[in-house]
């Protein structure tokens, strides 16, 4: 703040302890407390559940080998976890077999480890940076049940999130679209139906 140059004015200003800076206009004042976002991190929570469902469904082994069957797996490479397709590529070589080729020879053991920890019943044979992967013991009924279990877990998480949001909306006098929950559950049904069609 710039002080007045005139000594007499400065003396008066010091004596009265008055700050000559004008007050801001009233319409610039923010309400107290400042209103929070309507739904907080609601969208992030739903998105996280959807991503988790897709990752879980990717671990359910299809009846036939696919070049995309390891989508959702993570590989520890260069000090961090990266998507499987960033660390290696998968080529289908038979109905029940794929070949996984690591982009970096030194990352091959980590790619192999990711396959072993995938939860799938696989026969894995690594030869330098190429890994031969064969599907073992496929059971369609068990795969379908696994998909349904993952789907129900995800749906329950979504229901819980919507309960929290309904309580939040009621407490703060906000509107929450009643069809939002059913719409999200229907989208999960589509994701699950797509996965079941590959089994």
Tokens of 108: 């091959």
Return d(Cα 98, Cα 79) in angstroms, integer: 27
Q: pLDDT tens for residues 116-160?
A: 998 778 899 999 889 999 988 777 888 899 899 999 999 999 999
Does residue 172 carry a pLDDT above 90? no
Does residue 82 carry a pLDDT above 80? yes
Q: At what angle do helices 180-196 and 42-58 cross, to 10 degrees?
A: 10
Residue environment code for 128-166, b if the CB has 16+ CB neighbours within 10 A, otherwise e: ebebebebeeeeeeebeebbeebbeebbebbeebbeebe
């Amino acid at each position: 703040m710039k002080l007045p140059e005139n000594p007499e004015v400065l003396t008066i200003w010091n004596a009265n302890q008055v700050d000559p800076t004008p007050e801001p206009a009233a319409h610039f004042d923010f309400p107290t407390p400042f209103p929070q976002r309507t739904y907080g991190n609601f969208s992030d929570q739903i998105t996280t559940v959807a991503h988790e469902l897709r990752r879980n469904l990717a671990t359910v082994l299809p009846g036939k080998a696919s070049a995309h069957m390891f989508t959702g797996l993570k590989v520890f490479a260069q000090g961090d976890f990266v998507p499987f397709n960033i660390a290696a590529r998968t080529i289908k070589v038979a109905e029940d077999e794929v070949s996984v080729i690591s982009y970096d020879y030194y990352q091959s053991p980590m790619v192999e480890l990711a396959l072993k920890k995938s939860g799938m019943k696989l026969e894995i044979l690594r030869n330098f940076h190429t890994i031969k992967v064969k599907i073992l013991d496929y059971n369609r009924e068990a795969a379908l049940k696994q998909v349904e279990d993952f789907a129900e877990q995800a749906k329950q998480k979504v229901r819980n999130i919507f309960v929290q949001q309904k309580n939040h909306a009621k407490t703060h006098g906000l509107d929450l679209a009643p069809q939002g929950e059913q719409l999200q559950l229907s989208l999960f049904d589509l994701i699950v139906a797509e996965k079941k069609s590959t089994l």
